[in-house]
Structure 1
Amino acid sequence: MPHNVSLINTIAAGLGLALILGFLAIKIRLPALVGYLLAGVIIGPFTPGFVADAEIAAQLSEIGVMLLMFGVGLHFSLDDLLAVRRIALPGALVQIAAATLMGMGLAWWWDWPVGAALVFGLALSVASTVVLLRALETLNLLDSFTGRVAVGWLVVEDLAMVLVLVLLPPLAGVLGGNGGGSADVMTLLKTVGFTLLQVGIFVALMLVVGRRVFPWILWQVTRTASRELFTLCVVAAAVSIAFGAAALFGVSFALGAFFAGMVMRESEFSHRAAEESLPLRDAFAVLFFVSVGMLFDPHVLVERPFQVLAVVAVIVVGKSLAAAALVMLFRYPLQMALTISASLAQIGEFSFILVALGRSLGLLPAEGQSLVLAGALISISINPLIFGASAPLSNWLLKRSAFARKLEQRDDPLAELPMGTHERYLSSQVVLVGYGRVGRRIAAALAEQGLPYVIAEENREIVERLREQGTVAVFGNAAEPSVLIQAHIARARMLVVAVPESMDIRRMIETARTLNPEIEVVVRSHNEEEARLLEQEHAGTVFLGEQELAQAMVRHVLARAARPGSAGAHG
């Protein structure tokens, strides 16, 4: 050919083969991403036949990570991040430390030096952005409290890895590498301080300036009535801000794009922005999995099978147990602990960056890179299966294990109403499930009318704050009968479900109707088909978001249009 078309070759081969193998994977009841990974292996340099450009594929996958994290930011506010900080911050840091020590233990067992062991352990400790978000979206958990904790956990991991990537080069010399940089205490303190300052300035700029500037830009583009320009504005914002964050402030692409989405969320067009970027996000996310497959050398499975199994065990079992134990330590339910641990039972893009840096600094041997890539490929492939097994495993443990039941039912003052709760909150009250944006407005309206209500909320920090304010609240997932029992659902006047999780709504209604057959039920929904099914099942009064918005607008329009003297009125 007269010119280089490696970009076109890579995209065509990657997407085409991913489509075929993803389709076949679904046909044999495997996750589609297994097909995407195999597509990467086939067009990678370690298998015969056509070899795609791995460097180009890696850059395309980075765009996918940017767009995906930008989309998450569009649905994730600063309030959501702060609401889960008390579990996500210590949980992520302790889990990174635990997984790093497990990885270092393996490396020492194999007689690797301390520098190689440290890089290897850190590479096994951090989960993949793309895999986590794909799993949460597939299970409709992204907007749930559990999903927000998982995303917050991921953000803390990303921030920690940014610091690690900055500190490794100056530490390489003392760790046995070829960095040659100074590693005295003052130099390290200056490096850490400068990194934290850079990240702080970036976050401050995004939250103070970005929250005003970027929504305004989106509004100006919207006024042109050009769909192409709107889509271009969204994609340009995601990619440009992510690139600028990395180039100017040393922040990762993923973290930069996430904060870009968070500030763009302030715009009234954020929902449309998420929809417009969805096709591109999906396509580039597929290329991410293809690029991971291209890095994998299948020979490592034959040459070092037991080492590969040990690495997978640390990622899938060790990290999962550490994360589950931490969540349970914070007194959250077993089901949430298993879901969080499943979401973190894999490794991805940051792991690849770490091993590449470790290799360039002379810290990590070549076999270390192969083992990390093998662990990533296998853990990503089986992660959907682990996710799917979390709910059945929780039920099985609660049925078969007295210890699991004891943990679930342990004495927790927030899981019970205080002994001195006034009688007016124990009979003919409204039980309000969820204290998010919708729940807060309902609670405020009930309080204004002097009507008694009890809040059931699965965010422990919110329940603590409500108790301090004198509001009657109980901690836990209302899908569990014990939570509604504590809210005295048997004597309640009404159950109002202000959370969007459709799977749990039916269990809440079943419990409420079993204990109080005459109770009135009010639920919310964002899906028209789901709302119709709930109404057919006589679940109660169902409010569909778009429908209620349309009706409110119709009432306003009719009222204004009918007023004498209104524009267009006759007589």
Structure 2
Amino acid sequence: MHHTTPLITTIVGGLVLAFLLGMLANRLRISPLVGYLLAGVLAGPFTPGFVADTNLAPELAELGVILLMFGVGLHFSLKDLMAVKSIAIPGAVAQIAVATLLGMGLSWAMGWSWMTGLVFGLCLSTASTVVLLRALEERQLIDSQRGQIAIGWLIVEDLVMVLTLVLLPAIAGMLEQGNASPTLLVWDLLLTIGKVAAFMVLMMVVGRRVVPWILAKSAATGSRELFTLSVLALALGIAFGAVEFFDVSFALGAFFAGMVLNESELSHRAAHDTLPLRDAFAVLFFVSVGMLFDPMILVEQPLAVLGALAIIVLGKSIAAWLLVSLLGHSRRTALTISVSLAQIGEFAFILAGLGISLGMLSDEGRNLVLAAAILSIMLNPILFTLLERYLDKTETMEEQTLEEAIEEEKQIPVDICNHAVIVGYGRVGSLLGQQLLEADVPLVVVENSRPRVEALREQGIKAVLGNAARIDTMDLARLDCARWLLLTIPNGYEAGEIVTAARAKRPDIEIIARAHYDDEVTYIMERGANRVVMGEREIANSMLNVLQEEIAQNPIVRECPI
């Protein structure tokens, strides 16, 4: 008997197509994101064959945005946000203004009204949360200064878009009545700002105490399922409450939920447990974007599509590059941020949908926004690759090391040798580090978490902030004269990359790594590790040693007592 299952069909169809085309894109040495977007086009209503539910897909994608922003908040403290406010606030506002004016100029050239041009320009002005964070994660820039600025910039853009979503209906209402009321508009603006401020204060004052307490209680039960459930319930519940009661976006609500948990040690466990769901729903986000795209727009209006794409890729990028450069940051930082923002995403779709419902944007305008979004998302990984090649060719190693040192709060190399370098200071790393300190072994920790590095430095432990796979980071840790390299990070394949880089620089160093699975052990050993410790195997060996000691003291009597 046939059952109508649109939810299951959409999830299965979207993920299967995304997997197949993602693998194909990877084989062709292009970003898997392109495969995910093409999977959405194939699953959409504008191409023959399988058609997924276009109403369900965006809602599933929104879950991915919530979980992703919650994960970012787990690694992003209020201190980090305040540290970049001097560049993120003026930069984001100015860049939105530039992109909006350029969009209005293009709409004027196409004969649209100024109000339609305003909505169209706003759609082109804001970057995609998912695309930006995925690009930063792939290059391990989330905890770098460049990453912090880009994320802070994104948060400011989200706040501006929240205000825009509230003000557009009020403006539309005034235009319909023909009686513009600036007082009403100012009142709506103040009310929205007040709601956002109330939500932020509530999260900083109440949430900072309640959220960690709830997670601590769930962790104390010893049930992994309950802990993971509590993380999801908090992330989704707070995001939904932010929208329902404060008119804040899902993404912003989830971000603050994660940020108030940042100071807890459980934040890393929460981020790890939600990672598979974040990845799966992020893929569905790209699939849902592809489903909205009508390829015929490329044939019918190629010049208009190119114009919109030029505003996103060139106009926004140049504006961001100029603003960051004028505020005194390095060329690498300015270029990284400008490339990060050279795309548009979820807020563009939301604004376009609202514009259609209010009669402030035509179907033609929405199609142009969707086409430009698809193309900019496809081009973004290519732009990042070109940027990396450009920096590699135009910067010397000394300039790269100098710029990274400046970006990472002017770090200087540690002043010890014959020491142990520990990469990662989570549960395993902290236990190992404590034992080394008790044994008077000189120690340097390499971490990509700024709060952890600051905490270690406060304890008098030498720590380097950065990506251990980068030679310049390991130079700061003095890998050239270290005695041991100890990798305690849980990702075996990431550990393999670090081993490869370290072995190329120090063929004689003793490298001990951690792994969870047999294939990770093989992978890391092939790249030059002296020994790989697999947790499950060591637990079994320890239990066997205990049993052997017990048997030696109390030999087994094979005869059963009657």
Q: Structure 2 length normalisation: TM-score?
A: 0.77
**1:89-168 maps to which residues of 2 (within 5 A)?**
89-168=89-168
Q: CA separation of 1:524/1:139 partners in 2, compared to 1, >3 Å: closer, same or farther? A: farther
2:472 to 506, 513, 537: 506
- Determine the structure 2 residue equivalent to 1:462: none
**CA distance, structure 1, for counterparts of residue 496 and residue 48 of structure 2:** 48
| Paired AA for residue 53 in structure 1 | D
- Determine the structure 2 residue equivalent to 1:538: 506
Paired residue secondary structure (1:276): helix
The farther-off stretch of 497-506 and 263-272 is 497-506
1:213 to 185, 207, 210: 210
2:282 to 271, 282, 285: 285
**CA distance, structure 2, for counterparts of residue 11 and residue 198 of structure 1:** 35
- The answer to whether 1:378 aligns with 2:346 is no
Q: CA separation of 1:522/1:155 partners in 2, compared to 1, >3 Å: closer, same or farther? A: farther
Q: Offset of 1:506 from its aligned partner? A: 3.3
Once the two structures are superposed, residues 476-515 of structure 1 have per-residue CA deviations (whole angstroms, 9 ceiling, x without a partner) of: xxxxxxxxxxxxxxxxxxxx761122354437739999xx
1:187 to 180, 184, 188: 184
**CA distance, structure 1, for counterparts of residue 246 and residue 512 of structure 2:** 43
**CA distance, structure 2, for counterparts of residue 96 and residue 80 of structure 1:** 22
**1:529-568 maps to which residues of 2 (within 5 A)?**
529=496, 532-533=499-500, 536=503, 537-538=505-506
| Paired AA for residue 73 in structure 2 | G
- Determine the structure 2 residue equivalent to 1:484: none
**CA distance, structure 2, for counterparts of residue 140 and residue 208 of structure 1:** 31
Q: Tell me if structure 2 keeps the 8 A contact 1:535–1:542.
A: no
Q: Offset of 1:267 from its aligned partner? A: 3.0
Once the two structures are superposed, residues 161-199 of structure 1 have per-residue CA deviations (whole angstroms, 9 ceiling, x without a partner) of: 00001011111255x5x5x48641111111011101100
Q: Tell me if structure 2 keeps the 8 A contact 1:169–1:181.
A: no
Q: Tell me if structure 2 keeps the 8 A contact 1:73–1:260.
A: yes
**CA distance, structure 2, for counterparts of residue 539 and residue 87 of structure 1:** 43
Once the two structures are superposed, residues 241-279 of structure 1 have per-residue CA deviations (whole angstroms, 9 ceiling, x without a partner) of: 111100100000000011111112233211111111111
**CA distance, structure 2, for counterparts of residue 542 and residue 160 of structure 1:** 52
- The answer to whether 1:53 aligns with 2:53 is yes
Q: CA separation of 1:298/1:511 partners in 2, compared to 1, >3 Å: closer, same or farther? A: same
**CA distance, structure 2, for counterparts of residue 173 and residue 212 of structure 1:** 41
Q: Tell me if structure 1 keeps the 8 A contact 2:235–2:257.
A: yes
List alignment gaps of at least 5 residues for structure 1.
400-404, 417-424, 448-495, 551-571
**CA distance, structure 2, for counterparts of residue 73 and residue 543 of structure 1:** 33
Q: Tell me if structure 2 keeps the 8 A contact 1:215–1:264.
A: yes
Once the two structures are superposed, residues 66-102 of structure 1 have per-residue CA deviations (whole angstroms, 9 ceiling, x without a partner) of: 0111111111111111111111111111111111111
Percent identity over paired residues: 52
| Paired AA for residue 269 in structure 1 | L
**CA distance, structure 2, for counterparts of residue 168 and residue 81 of structure 1:** 28
Q: CA separation of 1:510/1:229 partners in 2, compared to 1, >3 Å: closer, same or farther? A: closer
Q: CA separation of 1:258/1:511 partners in 2, compared to 1, >3 Å: closer, same or farther? A: closer
Paired residue secondary structure (2:465): coil
| Paired AA for residue 200 in structure 1 | A
Paired residue secondary structure (1:502): coil
- The answer to whether 1:245 aligns with 2:248 is no
Aligned length: 476
Q: Tell me if structure 1 keeps the 8 A contact 2:88–2:152.
A: yes
- Determine the structure 2 residue equivalent to 1:481: none
Q: Tell me if structure 1 keeps the 8 A contact 2:469–2:501.
A: no
Q: Tell me if structure 1 keeps the 8 A contact 2:464–2:476.
A: no
**1:410-559 maps to which residues of 2 (within 5 A)?**
436-437=450-451, 440=454, 498-506=464-472, 509=475, 527=489, 528-529=495-496, 532-533=499-500, 536=503, 537-538=505-506
- Determine the structure 1 residue equivalent to 2:223: 226
Once the two structures are superposed, residues 372-411 of structure 1 have per-residue CA deviations (whole angstroms, 9 ceiling, x without a partner) of: 0000000111111111111222355569xxxxx9xx99xx
Q: Tell me if structure 1 keeps the 8 A contact 2:464–2:477.
A: no
Q: Tell me if structure 2 keeps the 8 A contact 1:72–1:261.
A: yes
- The answer to whether 1:358 aligns with 2:358 is no
1:320 to 304, 317, 331: 317
- The answer to whether 1:261 aligns with 2:229 is no
| Paired AA for residue 498 in structure 1 | V
| Paired AA for residue 269 in structure 2 | R
| Paired AA for residue 196 in structure 2 | V
Q: CA separation of 1:497/1:124 partners in 2, compared to 1, >3 Å: closer, same or farther? A: same
**CA distance, structure 1, for counterparts of residue 213 and residue 384 of structure 2:** 40
**CA distance, structure 1, for counterparts of residue 257 and residue 486 of structure 2:** 29
**CA distance, structure 2, for counterparts of residue 255 and residue 73 of structure 1:** 10
Q: Tell me if structure 2 keeps the 8 A contact 1:509–1:539.
A: no
Q: Tell me if structure 2 keeps the 8 A contact 1:242–1:252.
A: yes
Q: Give the superposed CA RMSD.
A: 3.6
Once the two structures are superposed, residues 107-135 of structure 1 have per-residue CA deviations (whole angstroms, 9 ceiling, x without a partner) of: 11111101000000000000000001111
Q: Offset of 1:5 from its aligned partner? A: 1.0
Q: CA separation of 1:182/1:198 partners in 2, compared to 1, >3 Å: closer, same or farther? A: farther
| Paired AA for residue 362 in structure 2 | P
List alignment gaps of at least 5 residues for structure 2.
418-443, 490-494, 516-532, 534-562
Q: CA separation of 1:58/1:545 partners in 2, compared to 1, >3 Å: closer, same or farther? A: same
**CA distance, structure 2, for counterparts of residue 498 and residue 510 of structure 1:** 7
**CA distance, structure 2, for counterparts of residue 441 and residue 511 of structure 1:** 17
Once the two structures are superposed, residues 295-319 of structure 1 have per-residue CA deviations (whole angstroms, 9 ceiling, x without a partner) of: 0000000000111111111111111
- Determine the structure 1 residue equivalent to 2:295: 298
Q: CA separation of 1:525/1:207 partners in 2, compared to 1, >3 Å: closer, same or farther? A: farther
**CA distance, structure 2, for counterparts of residue 543 and residue 157 of structure 1:** 44
Once the two structures are superposed, residues 267-292 of structure 1 have per-residue CA deviations (whole angstroms, 9 ceiling, x without a partner) of: 32111111111111111111111110
Q: Structure 1 length normalisation: TM-score?
A: 0.76
Once the two structures are superposed, residues 10-51 of structure 1 have per-residue CA deviations (whole angstroms, 9 ceiling, x without a partner) of: 111111111111111111112111111111111111112222
**CA distance, structure 1, for counterparts of residue 487 and residue 180 of structure 2:** 56
| Paired AA for residue 234 in structure 2 | A
- The answer to whether 1:393 aligns with 2:361 is no
- Determine the structure 1 residue equivalent to 2:24: 24
Q: CA separation of 1:337/1:439 partners in 2, compared to 1, >3 Å: closer, same or farther? A: same
**CA distance, structure 2, for counterparts of residue 239 and residue 76 of structure 1:** 18
**CA distance, structure 2, for counterparts of residue 9 and residue 438 of structure 1:** 43
- The answer to whether 1:4 aligns with 2:4 is yes
**CA distance, structure 2, for counterparts of residue 510 and residue 237 of structure 1:** 39
Q: Tell me if structure 2 keeps the 8 A contact 1:40–1:292.
A: yes
**CA distance, structure 2, for counterparts of residue 531 and residue 306 of structure 1:** 46
**CA distance, structure 2, for counterparts of residue 112 and residue 83 of structure 1:** 41
**CA distance, structure 2, for counterparts of residue 445 and residue 268 of structure 1:** 16
- The answer to whether 1:72 aligns with 2:40 is no
- Determine the structure 2 residue equivalent to 1:33: 33
| Paired AA for residue 317 in structure 1 | L
**CA distance, structure 2, for counterparts of residue 302 and residue 217 of structure 1:** 54
| Paired AA for residue 307 in structure 2 | A
Q: CA separation of 1:273/1:115 partners in 2, compared to 1, >3 Å: closer, same or farther? A: same
Q: CA separation of 1:80/1:30 partners in 2, compared to 1, >3 Å: closer, same or farther? A: same
Q: Offset of 1:8 from its aligned partner? A: 1.1
Paired residue secondary structure (2:143): coil
